[in-house]
Structure 1
Amino acid sequence: MRILRPLTIACTVLIFTACASNPSRMVRSEFEDIPVPKGLSYVGSKSTVIESPSVKAARLVYRGRLERDSLAIALRSTLEANGWRHVGTTASAAHGINQTYAKDANSLQVLLWEGIYYTYVELTASRALPPPPAQAQR
C-alpha cells in the first residue's frame, strides 16, 4: 500500500506533464483569405488539394472541441470580414450546417457537423489562378 500511492501519484503527474508538453499543431490553410478559427486541428488524411495552371481547389478538413452553431457564426463573420459574400445556409440534424460563399470568381462551401467527440469543419474551395506570364518569343 505504501508503494502503490506514490506510484499512482507519479504516473498521474507524468501523464499530465506529457499532455501539457505536446505542442499544438499548426493550422493549415491553402487560401490566405479563408481564416481557420483557433481550436481546430487540420486532418490531413481527409483533406485534398488539387492545383492546375488555371485553378486551385481544395477540400480541407479540420476538427476540434467547439460547439457547432457558435463555430458557424464565427466562421461566417470572419469570412464576410475577408470579403466573402454569403450566398446561403442550410441546416439539418442529419447533415449539419452547410454555408456557401462567393468572392469574385472563387467559391467556398463550409460544412459543419458533429461527430461523437469532435466537431468537424470541411472547407471546399476553388480559386481561378492568374494566367502565367507570357514567355518572350525568340
Structure 2
Amino acid sequence: MLNLFKLFKRYLKIRKQRAYFYFWKNRLNFTINKFTQMGLINKTLPEDQITFDGHKWETLDDFILKFNLNLSFPEFINNDQQEMIKNFYVFFFYQLAYKTNHKKIKIVFLKKQPYLKKDKTSVNHFKRLHYYKFLDQFKQIEDYNVILREILRKIL
C-alpha cells in the first residue's frame, strides 16, 4: 500500500511539473507569435527550444543564453532590436520562473533553481533591469502599448 501511495505521489508530482512545462510552452508560443507578426523575429517553434525530455541546464541563465542564441532574426532587424528581444526573453523567463517558484514547484529542466530565499531581491532587480531595457527600445514601435498590454496580460 505504501509503494502504491509513493507511486501515485510521484505521478502527481510529474503531472504538476508537466502542467507547468506546458504553462511555459504556451506563453512562449504566444510571445513568439506576437514578435513574428511584428516582423521582429523569424517563426520558430517552442518545441525547438523547450522539450520535456529530461535535459537539464545548470542555471536559468544558461537556458536563456541557449534560447537567445537560437533565435532567428530577419535581415532588416538591427542590433538594438535584437538586443530588445533578447532582453525581453530574459525578463520573460525570469517572470515565469518567479510564477513557478511562487507555486512552490521546482523547474524540472534546471539543476539550480533561480528563486532561492537569499537571491530573491537580486533576481527581481535583474528581471526588472532587463524589462526596462526592453521597454526603452519597444517604445519606439508604433502602437507599442496595445501589443505590450497583450503580452504582459499573458505572462504576468
TM-score tier after normalising by the smaller chain length: 0.3 to 0.5
Counting helix residues as a fraction of each chain, which structure ranks higher? 2
Structure (1 or 2) with the larger CA radius of gyration: 1
Counting strand residues as a fraction of each chain, which structure ranks higher? 1
Q: TM-score, normalised by structure 2?
A: 0.35
Q: TM-score, normalised by structure 1?
A: 0.38
